[in-house]
Amino acid sequence: MRKRTYYTKGARERMSKGATNRWNNPKARKEQSKRLKKYFENHPESKEEQSKKIKEYYKTHPEVREENSKKIKEYHKNHPKAREEHNKKLREYWSNQKTKEEHSKKLKEYHTNHPKAREEISKRKKEYYKNNPMAIKEQSKRLKKYFENHPESKEEQSKKIKEYYKNNPMAIKELSKRKKEYWSNPKAREEQSKRTKKYFKNNPGAKEKNNKRMREYWSTQEARKNISKKNKEYYNNPKVRENHSKKLKKYFKNHPESKEKIREARAKQILPMKDTKIEVKIQDLLRQLGYDFFTHQYIKIEHAYQCDVFIPSLNLVIECDGDYWHKYPTGKKIDHIRTKELIKEGFNVLRFWEHEINSIDINKFRERIIIN
């Protein structure tokens, strides 16, 4: 058995100085790295043993890990050239697709066999970004610069994400749950709204680009069909409708100015986009009788809205009420309120039920208008 030698403090200091002097020489570092690579290629079991020892050591000594990370950060701050060289080497290494694929396979196998490790990594990231909000901004800036200089990589990344979610529907559900949990926090919503407002103020061109993208997206029929299906499935649940109505009522009570803005915006819109069958029939009858009229005319009363038909010569408002949607025979409360408000403002009002319009002819329709 070989005896173990113990060195004095002075001997250890001399040996450390000699090692630092040797490692300051780049040629010596390259030669040593080549030797290690060859050795580990010929002895993979020793590589695994070494990695296990290092992992066990860092688990039992977390303070050493933190000290090493601090030293590396300080070194990169004081030596930006060394950081650039390190980044170049990493880019060259990851530019090879084979290495990327091998690395991704190893990670997938590791995470499948060690689910706890994946959770620990996610927790560390969350804690790090909570304690370092500037790190998120720096990371976002780096990604923006990289994707601006490499648009093809952006397309590849988007394709990979789409394929992943197509093949993994459970991942979409997990992502939606996380988003719901995040947006359920009112502070998170307020912070996000503030960020978007600041961003659009400082970048007016970004708002225009976003609007163009949304218009292009919604111009396609597929997008409209998909979102309509999702909305129907979501709002078929009566609990969802009740919660949504309650939230809206609370919001408009605390923000009455937003209600007025919505009214002004809706006054400029034409709703609905397509007339119903009963509205088309009434319009045809008015044309046969020779009346000039406007459709979906905005009328400013207390409960302002767009009427179905307005005849300016008679100051007459005609409403075509569907039997189901307007609750035949009693009628909706809002319809009775609006008729009273219209009469107070001096308008003449004529309301037709759906079954009346389906059975009416020109003579009966003329009589109803004259009597009114």
Count of domains observed in the chain: 3
What is the extent of the structural domain holding 53? Answer: 45-89
Cβ neighbours around 282 below 10 Å, total:
23
3-state secondary structure (DSSP) of residue 200: helix
Q: Which amino acid is at 46?
A: S
Please report whether residue 137 resides in a domain.
Answer: no
pTM of the model: 0.38
Distance of alpha carbon 343 from its chain centroid, rounded?
A: 47
Cβ neighbours around 126 below 10 Å, total:
10
Q: How far is CA 155 from CA 40, 101, 147, 151, 304, in A?
A: 38, 18, 9, 7, 47
Q: What is the CATH number of the domain that holds 306?
A: 3.40.960.10
Domain limit, last residue, from 56, 89, 122: 89
Please report whether residue 19 resides in a domain.
Answer: no
Q: How far is CA 55 from CA 40, 52, 60, 125, in A?
A: 18, 5, 9, 19
H or E stretch at 370: helix 362-371
Alpha-carbon span 22 to 20, nearest angstrom: 5
Q: Residue 318 phi/psi, 5° resolution?
A: -110, 130
CB 286 within 8 A of CB 293: yes
Please report whether residue 128 resides in a domain.
Answer: no
Please report whether residue 330 resides in a domain.
Answer: yes
H or E stretch at 306: strand 305-311
Please report whether residue 177 resides in a domain.
Answer: yes
Q: Which amino acid is at 317?
A: V
Alpha-carbon span 294 to 305, nearest angstrom: 14
C-alpha angle with apex 251: 245 to 257, nearest 5 degrees? 125
Residues of the chain with pLDDT under 70: 1-9, 267-273
Q: Is 327 left (phi over 0), alpha (psi -120 to 50) or beta?
A: left
* pLDDT for 289: 93
- The residues near 202 (Cβ < 8 Å, ≥ 6 apart) are none
Tokens representing residue 99 in the block = 């290495």
Please report whether residue 196 resides in a domain.
Answer: yes
Tokens representing residue 362 in the block = 């020109």
Alpha-carbon span 24 to 32, nearest angstrom: 12
Please report whether residue 292 resides in a domain.
Answer: yes
Residue 249: CA atoms inside 13 Å, Cβ hemisphere, count? Answer: 6
* pLDDT for 1: 45
**Same domain membership, residue 197 and residue 283:** no
Domain limit, last residue, from 24, 58, 89: 89
Sheet containing strand 294-299, strands side by side: 294-299, 305-311, 316-321, 348-353
Please report whether residue 49 resides in a domain.
Answer: yes
CB 258 within 8 A of CB 275: no
Helices (runs of H) and strands (runs of E) counted in the chain: 19, 4
User: Which residue matches tokens 């694929």?
Assistant: 101
CB 282 within 8 A of CB 351: no
**Same domain membership, residue 364 and residue 281:** yes
CB 317 within 8 A of CB 327: no
* 320 bridge partner residues: 352
C-alpha angle with apex 22: 20 to 27, nearest 5 degrees? 130
Reported residue count of the chain is 372
Domain limit, last residue, from 19, 54, 89: 89
Tokens representing residue 153 in the block = 């990589």
